[in-house]
Chain A
Amino acid sequence: MTNPLPSTLSAAQVMDTYFLETRAKLLEIAATLDRVDRGRDLAALRGDPRLIFIHEALEVLQSAAPNRAERILNLYSIA
């Protein structure tokens, strides 16, 4: 039912276009996790489903399989 549009950019062009903003987003995640670590009463957050979700999402980013955005959204979805 769907007719994909051919990608207009080469893989290298995609990287040229989006590398810096991707780097910035990764740094935001790293800084947020550091901020959580520095927060008061960190032990109370142990087992928090949001923290678990973030770590599972980071595993998705490390995988070579496609559709990473969809897989992260599925991780975050109720049944």
Chain B
Amino acid sequence: MFYIDPHIHMVSRTTDDYERLAHAGVVAVSEPAFWAGFDRSPAGFLDYYRQLTDVEPARAKQFGIDHYCWICLNPKEAEDLGKAREVLAEMPAFLNKPTVLGIGEIGLNKNTPNEAKVFQQHVQMAIDQWKGDGKPEARNTKHEGGNHHLILIHTPHLEDKRKGTRMILEMLRDFGGAISPGRVLIDHVEEHTAKMVLDGGYWAGMTIYPVSKCTPQRAVDMIELYGAQRLCVNAAADWGVSDPMNTMRTAWEARRRGHGLETLMRIFYNNPAEFFGQSANFKQRRMNVSLV
């Protein structure tokens, strides 16, 4: 089965992991900008964006994988508003790179006022920097609201998640009709946040990550509870204890319960292809599954 990992931090992984992903059926990965494990200087961000937009696509290509990315200053480094201002000033140049899908993963970490301020600045940039995607009308996914760059949102961990998710939804609502929920994916949902995200019309991501997030079993439970519409699954493998195979493990879990190929393809291929496909930079198209 072919699949897409919609959230994975390949800069932190070895080239062997690209090979393992290719063997497992991955044809495309999407890599949001994130925290490196230490706070960087503004110059460090420029190097990081070059790594995301130049180095990783070439590394992935060796294994037939298309690498896409997202650009932002992550919420863990948003406390320093001066640094945030410097980094945000450099971002527009990277938004026009050919493998960039949008702005992300922005969001909240400890739900602080400064994090909220920088989150809002990123959303405003997604609106202000939108110049149209130049793609044929037929490929446009119908959505309500305004046009803007696609947005990928990180929600906080553990005890901060529910409050942080509510804050993010409120801030998005404050942008009114300028934001199209169908062009926003809110990630790392769990049982207590999935419904509020989906009810808002947003896409939701479930992250299969040891200890702090979700398991394959719980992710498939949520698919059964809420349906396959606008739900994606990712590994978010990074420099922590994590596993790039966890997205595929979730597909196996769904298969072991008897869910059919059409459902599997929808969740693990067509849903990310539909959301990312709203960017002209994303090449993979949705696939039909027909049984003869």
User: A residues near B, CB below 8 A?
Assistant: 1-9, 17-18, 67, 69-70, 73-74, 76-79
Contacts and interface: CB of A to CB of B under 8 A. Distances in A.
Contacts of A17: 256-257
Contact of B162 (A5, A8, A67, A74): A74
A7 B258 CA distance: 9
B86 interface: no
Contacts of B191: 67, 69-70, 73
Interface string B149-186: 00000000011111100000000000000000000000
A10 B277 CA distance: 37
Given A2-B198, A67-B191, A77 B163 contact: yes
B263 interface: yes
B198 A76 contact: no
A73 B198 contact: no
The 6 closest A-B pairs by CB, nearest first: A8-B258, A3-B227, A77-B162, A70-B191, A73-B192, A2-B226
B259 interface: yes
Nearest to B111: A78
A4 B224 contact: yes
B58 interface: no
B127 interface: no
Nearest to A76: B159
Interface string B91-119: 00000000000000000000000000000
Interface stretch (B68-76, B129-137, B215-223): B215-223
Q: Which of B192, B201, B217, B256 has the most CB atoms of chain A within a 10 A radius of its CB?
A: B192
A9 B224 CA distance: 11
A1 B224 contact: no
Contacts of A78: 159-160, 162-163
Nearest to A49: B159
Contacts of B258: 8-9
Contacts of B162: 73-74, 77-78
Contacts, number: 60
A23 to B, nearest CB: 15
A53 to B, nearest CB: 9
Most A CB contacts (10 A, CB to CB) among B199, B201, B225 go to B225
Interface in B240-259: 256-259
Nearest to B257: A8
B173 to A, nearest CB: 16
B52 to A, nearest CB: 32
Contacts of A4: 224-227
Interface in B22-39: none
Contacts of B161: 73, 77
Nearest to A21: B217
Contact of A8 (B160, B190, B259): B259
B228 interface: yes
B229 interface: yes
Nearest to A73: B192
A69 B220 CA distance: 13
